[in-house]
Protein backbone atom coordinates (compact mmCIF):
# COMPACT_ATOMS: atom_id res chain seq x y z
CA UNK A 1 0.00 0.00 0.00
CA UNK A 2 1.32 3.41 -0.96
CA UNK A 3 1.68 6.11 1.73
CA UNK A 4 -0.98 8.26 0.06
CA UNK A 5 -3.38 5.29 0.05
CA UNK A 6 -2.82 4.76 3.77
CA UNK A 7 -3.66 8.40 4.34
CA UNK A 8 -6.93 7.94 2.41
CA UNK A 9 -8.16 4.63 3.83
CA UNK A 10 -7.08 4.70 7.47
CA UNK A 11 -9.15 7.65 8.64
CA UNK A 12 -12.32 5.82 9.74
CA UNK A 13 -13.30 5.56 13.41
CA UNK A 14 -14.92 2.49 14.99
CA UNK A 15 -17.52 2.66 17.74
CA UNK A 16 -19.66 0.17 19.64
CA UNK A 17 -23.29 0.81 20.65
CA UNK A 18 -25.41 -1.31 22.97
CA UNK A 19 -29.18 -1.80 22.96
CA UNK A 20 -29.88 -2.97 26.49
CA UNK A 21 -33.32 -4.53 27.00
CA UNK A 22 -34.68 -4.76 30.54
CA UNK A 23 -38.01 -5.99 31.94
CA UNK A 24 -39.38 -4.60 35.21
CA UNK A 25 -42.19 -7.15 35.60
CA UNK A 26 -44.72 -4.94 33.86
CA UNK A 27 -42.98 -3.34 30.90
CA UNK A 28 -40.08 -3.99 28.53
CA UNK A 29 -37.63 -1.08 28.55
CA UNK A 30 -34.48 0.15 26.79
CA UNK A 31 -31.62 2.00 28.49
CA UNK A 32 -30.74 5.48 27.18
CA UNK A 33 -27.92 7.75 28.25
CA UNK A 34 -28.35 11.50 28.67
CA UNK A 35 -24.75 12.50 29.34
CA UNK A 36 -23.90 14.15 26.01
CA UNK A 37 -23.23 17.71 27.14
CA UNK A 38 -20.69 18.28 24.38
CA UNK A 39 -20.20 16.96 20.89
CA UNK A 40 -22.40 17.25 17.79
CA UNK A 41 -25.74 16.64 19.59
CA UNK A 42 -25.57 18.34 23.03
CA UNK A 43 -28.17 16.98 25.43
CA UNK A 44 -29.62 14.45 22.99
CA UNK A 45 -30.32 10.99 24.44
CA UNK A 46 -28.40 8.13 22.92
CA UNK A 47 -27.53 4.46 23.34
CA UNK A 48 -24.65 3.46 25.60
CA UNK A 49 -21.67 3.73 23.26
CA UNK A 50 -17.91 3.94 23.14
CA UNK A 51 -15.23 4.69 20.54
CA UNK A 52 -12.72 1.89 20.01
CA UNK A 53 -9.03 2.80 20.20
CA UNK A 54 -6.67 1.47 17.52
CA UNK A 55 -5.00 -1.03 19.89
CA UNK A 56 -8.26 -2.30 21.46
CA UNK A 57 -10.44 -5.28 20.57
CA UNK A 58 -14.17 -5.03 19.84
CA UNK A 59 -15.20 -7.84 22.21
CA UNK A 60 -13.35 -6.37 25.19
CA UNK A 61 -15.07 -3.03 24.61
CA UNK A 62 -18.47 -4.69 24.49
CA UNK A 63 -17.79 -6.50 27.77
CA UNK A 64 -16.68 -3.27 29.45
CA UNK A 65 -19.70 -1.41 28.08
CA UNK A 66 -22.13 -4.03 29.35
CA UNK A 67 -20.57 -4.10 32.81
CA UNK A 68 -20.33 -0.31 33.03
CA UNK A 69 -24.05 0.10 32.44
CA UNK A 70 -25.33 -2.92 34.40
CA UNK A 71 -22.67 -3.89 36.96
CA UNK A 72 -23.48 -7.46 35.94
CA UNK A 73 -21.49 -10.24 34.29
CA UNK A 74 -22.64 -13.22 32.24
CA UNK A 75 -25.71 -11.70 30.62
CA UNK A 76 -27.00 -12.54 27.15
CA UNK A 77 -25.23 -10.44 24.47
CA UNK A 78 -25.40 -10.78 20.70
CA UNK A 79 -23.96 -8.75 17.83
CA UNK A 80 -26.47 -7.09 15.49
CA UNK A 81 -24.49 -5.63 12.58
CA UNK A 82 -22.34 -2.67 11.55
CA UNK A 83 -24.04 0.65 10.80
CA UNK A 84 -21.86 2.72 8.50
CA UNK A 85 -23.78 5.39 6.63
CA UNK A 86 -21.43 8.16 5.54
CA UNK A 87 -23.04 11.04 7.45
CA UNK A 88 -24.11 9.33 10.70
CA UNK A 89 -21.64 11.38 12.72
CA UNK A 90 -20.85 15.04 11.94
CA UNK A 91 -17.36 14.60 13.43
CA UNK A 92 -16.29 12.19 10.69
CA UNK A 93 -16.81 8.74 9.19
CA UNK A 94 -17.69 6.16 11.88
CA UNK A 95 -18.42 2.46 11.55
CA UNK A 96 -20.72 1.68 14.47
CA UNK A 97 -20.89 -2.00 15.47
CA UNK A 98 -24.13 -2.59 17.36
CA UNK A 99 -24.98 -5.22 19.93
CA UNK A 100 -27.99 -5.98 22.08
CA UNK A 101 -28.21 -7.54 25.52
CA UNK A 102 -30.94 -8.61 27.93
CA UNK A 103 -30.89 -7.98 31.66
CA UNK A 104 -33.14 -8.47 34.67
CA UNK A 105 -34.30 -4.99 35.67
CA UNK A 106 -34.38 -4.77 39.47
CA UNK A 107 -34.46 -1.87 41.95
CA UNK A 108 -30.69 -1.94 42.39
CA UNK A 109 -30.05 -1.54 38.66
CA UNK A 110 -32.72 1.18 38.35
CA UNK A 111 -31.04 3.17 41.11
CA UNK A 112 -27.59 2.67 39.59
CA UNK A 113 -28.84 3.91 36.20
CA UNK A 114 -30.47 6.94 37.81
CA UNK A 115 -27.20 7.89 39.50
CA UNK A 116 -25.51 7.76 36.10
CA UNK A 117 -28.12 10.07 34.54
CA UNK A 118 -29.51 7.20 32.48
CA UNK A 119 -33.14 6.28 31.89
CA UNK A 120 -34.97 3.03 31.20
CA UNK A 121 -37.44 4.19 28.56
CA UNK A 122 -40.59 2.26 27.63
CA UNK A 123 -40.03 -0.07 24.66
CA UNK A 124 -42.73 1.65 22.60
CA UNK A 125 -41.83 5.25 23.53
CA UNK A 126 -38.30 5.77 22.26
CA UNK A 127 -37.64 9.48 21.54
CA UNK A 128 -35.51 10.93 18.74
CA UNK A 129 -31.92 9.94 19.46
CA UNK A 130 -28.48 11.13 18.43
CA UNK A 131 -26.54 9.63 15.51
CA UNK A 132 -28.06 6.48 13.95
CA UNK A 133 -29.35 5.13 17.25
CA UNK A 134 -33.06 5.06 16.35
CA UNK A 135 -32.20 2.89 13.36
CA UNK A 136 -30.16 0.59 15.60
CA UNK A 137 -33.01 0.20 18.07
CA UNK A 138 -35.48 -0.64 15.30
CA UNK A 139 -33.10 -3.32 14.05
CA UNK A 140 -32.57 -4.66 17.59
CA UNK A 141 -36.33 -4.92 18.17
CA UNK A 142 -36.71 -7.05 15.05
CA UNK A 143 -33.83 -9.27 16.15
CA UNK A 144 -35.33 -9.65 19.63
CA UNK A 145 -38.67 -10.57 18.08
CA UNK A 146 -37.06 -13.32 16.01
CA UNK A 147 -35.04 -14.64 18.92
CA UNK A 148 -38.03 -14.68 21.28
CA UNK A 149 -39.95 -16.78 18.76
CA UNK A 150 -37.23 -19.43 18.42
CA UNK A 151 -35.26 -19.36 21.66
CA UNK A 152 -36.22 -18.90 25.32
CA UNK A 153 -34.14 -15.71 25.76
CA UNK A 154 -37.18 -14.01 27.27
CA UNK A 155 -36.47 -15.91 30.48
CA UNK A 156 -33.19 -14.01 30.86
CA UNK A 157 -35.20 -10.80 31.23
CA UNK A 158 -37.33 -12.15 34.05
CA UNK A 159 -36.59 -12.35 37.77
CA UNK A 160 -35.57 -15.76 39.09
CA UNK A 161 -39.19 -16.42 40.11
CA UNK A 162 -41.99 -15.07 37.93
CA UNK A 163 -45.69 -15.43 37.21
CA UNK A 164 -47.11 -16.62 33.91
CA UNK A 165 -48.83 -13.23 33.58
CA UNK A 166 -45.44 -11.48 33.75
CA UNK A 167 -44.07 -13.85 31.14
CA UNK A 168 -47.04 -13.17 28.87
CA UNK A 169 -46.63 -9.39 29.17
CA UNK A 170 -43.00 -9.74 28.17
CA UNK A 171 -43.77 -11.82 25.10
CA UNK A 172 -46.68 -9.62 24.03
CA UNK A 173 -44.42 -6.55 24.12
CA UNK A 174 -41.51 -8.21 22.30
CA UNK A 175 -43.76 -9.71 19.62
CA UNK A 176 -46.03 -6.63 19.43
CA UNK A 177 -49.28 -8.60 19.62
CA UNK A 178 -51.81 -9.68 22.20
CA UNK A 179 -52.12 -13.33 23.13
CA UNK A 180 -55.01 -15.35 24.46
CA UNK A 181 -54.33 -15.96 28.14
CA UNK A 182 -55.52 -19.57 28.16
CA UNK A 183 -53.61 -20.54 25.01
CA UNK A 184 -50.45 -18.86 26.23
CA UNK A 185 -50.57 -20.68 29.55
CA UNK A 186 -51.14 -24.02 27.82
CA UNK A 187 -48.29 -23.47 25.38
CA UNK A 188 -45.78 -22.34 27.98
CA UNK A 189 -46.64 -25.17 30.40
CA UNK A 190 -46.40 -27.73 27.60
CA UNK A 191 -42.98 -26.35 26.62
CA UNK A 192 -41.51 -28.18 29.66
CA UNK A 193 -39.28 -25.19 30.31
CA UNK A 194 -40.86 -23.85 33.49
CA UNK A 195 -41.37 -25.52 36.85
CA UNK A 196 -43.46 -24.50 39.83
CA UNK A 197 -41.51 -23.17 42.79
CA UNK A 198 -44.22 -23.80 45.38
CA UNK A 199 -44.22 -20.06 46.07
CA UNK A 200 -46.87 -17.45 45.31
CA UNK A 201 -46.82 -13.77 44.36
CA UNK A 202 -48.72 -11.79 47.01
CA UNK A 203 -47.81 -8.32 45.68
CA UNK A 204 -51.16 -7.92 43.92
CA UNK A 205 -54.58 -7.41 45.47
CA UNK A 206 -55.83 -10.23 43.30
CA UNK A 207 -55.71 -13.90 44.15
CA UNK A 208 -52.13 -15.03 44.76
CA UNK A 209 -50.46 -16.21 41.55
CA UNK A 210 -48.12 -19.17 41.36
CA UNK A 211 -44.45 -18.42 40.87
CA UNK A 212 -42.39 -20.37 38.35
CA UNK A 213 -38.74 -20.59 37.37
CA UNK A 214 -36.95 -21.34 34.11
CA UNK A 215 -35.49 -24.84 33.89
CA UNK A 216 -32.33 -24.02 31.94
CA UNK A 217 -30.82 -27.45 32.51
CA UNK A 218 -33.89 -29.06 30.95
CA UNK A 219 -33.67 -26.68 27.97
CA UNK A 220 -30.01 -27.55 27.36
CA UNK A 221 -30.85 -31.25 27.36
CA UNK A 222 -33.79 -30.75 25.01
CA UNK A 223 -31.66 -28.59 22.70
CA UNK A 224 -29.22 -31.45 22.25
CA UNK A 225 -32.12 -33.49 20.91
CA UNK A 226 -33.14 -30.77 18.46
CA UNK A 227 -35.72 -28.93 20.57
CA UNK A 228 -37.08 -25.81 18.87
CA UNK A 229 -38.78 -23.18 21.04
CA UNK A 230 -41.26 -22.03 18.38
CA UNK A 231 -43.57 -19.32 19.67
Tens-digit pLDDT profile for residues 17-28: 999 999 998 899
Tens-digit pLDDT profile for residues 50-82: 999 989 999 999 999 999 999 998 889 999 999
The domain ranges of the chain are 3-150, 153-224
Domain 3-150: which topology?
Nucleoside Triphosphate Pyrophosphohydrolase (3.90.79)
Angle at 64 between CA 148 and CA 86, to 5 degrees: 75
Q: What is the pTM of this model?
A: 0.89
Rounded CA-CA distance 177/230 in Å is 16
Compute φ and ψ for 94, nearest 5 degrees.
Answer: -130, 130
Query: How far does CA 81 lie from the centroid of its chain?
Result: 14
Low-confidence residues of the chain: pLDDT under 70 = 35-39, 204-207, 224-231
Same topology, domains 3-150 and 153-224? Answer is: no
Q: Which CATH class is domain 153-224?
A: mainly alpha
Amino acid sequence: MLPEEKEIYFKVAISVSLVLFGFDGEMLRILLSNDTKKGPFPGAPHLPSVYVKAHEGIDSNVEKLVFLHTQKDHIFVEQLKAFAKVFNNPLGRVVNIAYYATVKLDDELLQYSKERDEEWVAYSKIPDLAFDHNEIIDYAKERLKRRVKRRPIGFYLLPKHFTISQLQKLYETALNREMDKRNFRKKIVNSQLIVETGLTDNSSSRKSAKLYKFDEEKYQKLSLKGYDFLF
